Structure 1
């Protein structure tokens, strides 16, 4: 992949990347990943740079919001006591040239160069990807079985279950009753996981959020309003 790094005063370094999928120049700003620009193969970097300069005010406006988000994130290092549902995060500084991460049955093992700072952004991004992979493993083990149990208890029917790294919603139900769940459900306590699952199972009966839907969800969950309010305390992107 062709890349080019440019520097803009007041913004910092920006990474331009040629992409076969990009139809237009697009700018993304993500926590710990900075400003990245996707550039169509047919477009020159020079043209993309001009576009970025025109969007400089927009970029500068959004950077503080991203920095605010970054301050909410956990910084993972050897002093961090962090566990997923089934895995413990452990750090091993060693005489190695690059970071290595191994996910075993119950450990996320982070081996990193002992002469480098594990708090470095590039390492933090890789650690987060490993944690999310552990959640994916756990979600595939837990969610399908729990969906089956709850559907049998309450008499719901569904088609397929998909586990994805969705960061915009906890779950969804398609028009043909396929259920989609984010692997980030593994961060929630069991009773809230059940609430999300039941929410989507209720959509196999009612495809909207009308009164009948909420009445059904309240019946099967026990207290839909209270559980819904508690879900507001959780943000998918923040951990």
Structure 2
């Protein structure tokens, strides 16, 4: 990898250092936002920090994508014959990658589909499964007899993946950070709302320890508009005034980000 070898240009060294700062800083900001308070002005600040962390993470990825791309361009072919050779080998590698996807992934997908209906159509399903297994095994055997490296396809795929992920993270982070900044500048909104829905979104999977449970609350104001708020598990007590008020209360919130400031009981709400 270009970043871990000698001979980098000055701008590549600078981008590599800034990229590390953005990647780790962005990840830290997301974690702080995830486990910090989600209520009030501090909750809005944490929300902005988390979305800005996504933006920083995306910028870091794009920085390293630029380094890898520049390194690949520096080692590009120097004449027409070398270009033809590179393009021919690259096309062959990508063709084999696509063939792998079709024959490996396709046969598994079709076999699983046939297995799911084996109870209703036994013989045809077994035939389809047998054909898929045969194709998979024969192609696997052929690939072992004709091995091929995927240097060009691997690096091209990696750079495209990093660039795509970076663009998505930057776009999402910039949009959400803009909403947070707008809420910070304009301020909170107050409305009398009735409780209409609740969803407890618990993280699952291998990295669930890196996320907290989100409590999504749906409210309806006097004009029939839906108000969606999200409160972290650690701030569950902030919802108690809504329960104590019988599901109808005056709510102070940031409308663009859905950050709750407070519920206030209101006799006028009834």
* Same structural fold, with TM-score higher than 0.5 when normalized by the shorter chain: no
For the pair shown, the structure with the greater C-alpha radius of gyration is 2
Q: Which has the higher contact order (CA 8 A, sep 6+)?
A: 2
Coarse TM-score class (shorter-chain normalised): under 0.3
More helix by share: 2
More strand by share: 1
The two structures have a TM-score, normalised by structure 2, of 0.20
